[in-house]
Amino acid sequence: MSKLRSVCTTTLSLILAAASSASAQSTVKVGVLHSLTGTMAISEITVANAAQLAIDEINAKGGVLGKKIVVVKEDGASDWPTFATKAEKLLTQDKVATVFGGWTSASRKSMLPVFEKNGGLLFYPVQFEGNECSPNIIYTGAQPNQQALPALEWALSKGYKKIFLLGSDYVYPRTANLILKKHITDMKATLSGEEYVALGGTEFSSVINKIKAAKPDVIINTLNGDSNVSFFKQYQAAGYKASTLPVISFSIAEQEAQAIGTQLLNGQYATWNYFQSLPNPANKKFVAAYQKKHGAGAAITDPMAHAYMDVYLWKAAVEKARSFEPMAVRKAIVGISMDSPLGKITVAPNGSLTQAVYTGISGAGGQFKVVAQSKGVVKPEPYDKLAFPGKTCP
């Protein structure tokens, strides 16, 4: 009896071992780490969905280097220390080949040491303030010179010389505006005022009163989240509209436009590397595939398009390196270029993207129509030469 049992268990364990080694050969694990709960969930769930869509597409076509991608999904819960803990878990316990994730600068800054310590690789899909560079992070969202500065240049070219800077009070608006101020002085334009409102703030009468006193030609808006709703409601009530005092926003995309109310946002501008309305074939395919899965009305934003493309960039780098080893992938990814929903993009040596910049005007259904675009693609500059002289990426 006991002999029979030991034979059975041996056979069973052999079968299991064979099965698990077979599956280990035919799959590769990647992490998707976004806030699926908490205050950032509104923005990050759809970004995680976009990354998942790319992974599903790649798996349907046979995977990467013959291996199917298995996703380990983790919730950063809008809590920055949690992002570090989950990143550590993904790298050391799940041993993922790479991680796609993060949104706020705070979440990225808390994950950075974890990736550097463990030699991991993170694809970060959101525009940010620059002033940071790590060999373990591929920053695909816009650097300041790929969103803030082109917006400023466009405003000046339209004859808007007096600029008011309005932002939420945290690291991204403060740093972006520091850079903008240097360039406003450099380009002989006028800074007519600068105001910060606490994240989530809803009262803008004083700010609007100051704007009225300052009489700017244009507002550059780095408010985040629902503060935008209050601001645009109160701006309109004070008698302003896009034709009298235009606002250029960096954190309002198609999804936010729906929540603010398209009536309130009509005629206002946003600057991004991507709009849902871009007419290129890769984008049409992406929009159709996403809406097939998540509903015909689903809005698609710049960070989502970046997250979707990040997966394809990783696949191309893995195939070029013929390895899943993070640092080999990091080396191989430089110079890779592709026709993505954002248009033609190339990975620069500093791990950021060379990509085009678009300024769009908000119209019906919360969609943006492109009114201006960069001449060709723009090289990423993580450190602004005026604001952070002498600092460069290794």
Partner 1 sequence: MDFTFISGQLFTGLSVASILLLAALGLALSFGLMRVINMAHGEFLMVGGYLTYLAAQWAGPTLGDAWLWVAFPLAFLGAGLLGAVMEFAVIRRLYGRPLDTLLATFGISLILQQAARQLFGSTGVPVTAPAWLGGALTLGDVTLPFVRLFVIALALIVLAGMWWLLNRSPFGMHVRAVNQNREMAAALGVNTRSLDMLVFSLGAGIAGVAGVGLALIAPVNPTVGAAYIVNAFLVVVVGGVGSVLGAAVAAVLLGFVTALAEGFTSSSLAQAILLVLVVAFLQWKPRGLIPTKSRALEEA
Binding-site member from 202, 267, 365, 369 for partner 1 (CB under 8 A): 202
Binding-site member from 36, 41, 178, 372 for partner 1 (CB under 8 A): 41
Q: State the sign of the Cα–Cα–Cα–Cα dihedral 176, 182, 183, 189.
A: positive
User: Is residue 57 part of the contact set for partner 1 (CB under 8 A)?
Assistant: no
- For residues 344 and 337, the answer to whether their CB atoms sit within 8 Å is yes
Binding-site member from 73, 182, 233, 385 for partner 1 (CB under 8 A): 233
User: Is residue 207 part of the contact set for partner 1 (CB under 8 A)?
Assistant: yes
CA distance 201 to 168: 8
Q: How many chain residues interact with partner 1 (CB under 8 A)?
A: 36
Q: Reading across the β-sheet that carries 218-222, which strands appear in turn?
A: 190-197, 162-168, 218-222, 247-249, 269-272, 358-362, 368-373
Q: Which residues contact 219 (CB under 8 A, 6 or more apart)?
A: 163, 164, 165, 166, 211, 245, 246, 247, 248
Q: By CB under 8 A, what part of segment 209-228 binds partner 1?
A: 209-210, 212-213, 226
Q: Give CA separation, 209 vs 167, 174, 204, 212, in Å.
A: 16, 21, 8, 5
CA distance 76 to 111: 11
Binding-site member from 6, 13, 206, 392 for partner 1 (CB under 8 A): 206
Binding-site member from 71, 229, 287, 336 for partner 1 (CB under 8 A): 229
Binding-site member from 88, 94, 153, 169 for partner 1 (CB under 8 A): 169
Binding-site member from 234, 266, 280, 346 for partner 1 (CB under 8 A): 234
Helices (H) and strands (E) in the chain, counts: 13, 15
Q: By CB under 8 A, what part of segment 238-297 binds partner 1?
A: 238-239, 255, 258-264
User: Is residue 363 part of the contact set for partner 1 (CB under 8 A)?
Assistant: no
Shorter beta-carbon distance to partner 1: residue 95 or 212: 212
CA distance 253 to 230: 16
Shorter beta-carbon distance to partner 1: residue 60 or 213: 213
- For residues 370 and 383, the answer to whether their CB atoms sit within 8 Å is no
* Segment interacting with partner 1 (CB under 8 A) among 24-32, 194-202, 276-284, 306-314: 194-202
Q: What are phi and psi of 71, to 5 degrees?
A: -95, 130
> Closest separation between CB of residue 90 and partner 1, Å?
25
* Segment interacting with partner 1 (CB under 8 A) among 129-137, 189-197, 319-327, 335-343: 189-197
Neighbours of 68 (CB within 10 A): 15
The contact set with partner 1 (CB under 8 A) reads 39, 41-42, 169, 195-198, 200-203, 205-207, 209-210, 212-213, 226, 229-230, 233-234, 236-239, 255, 258-264
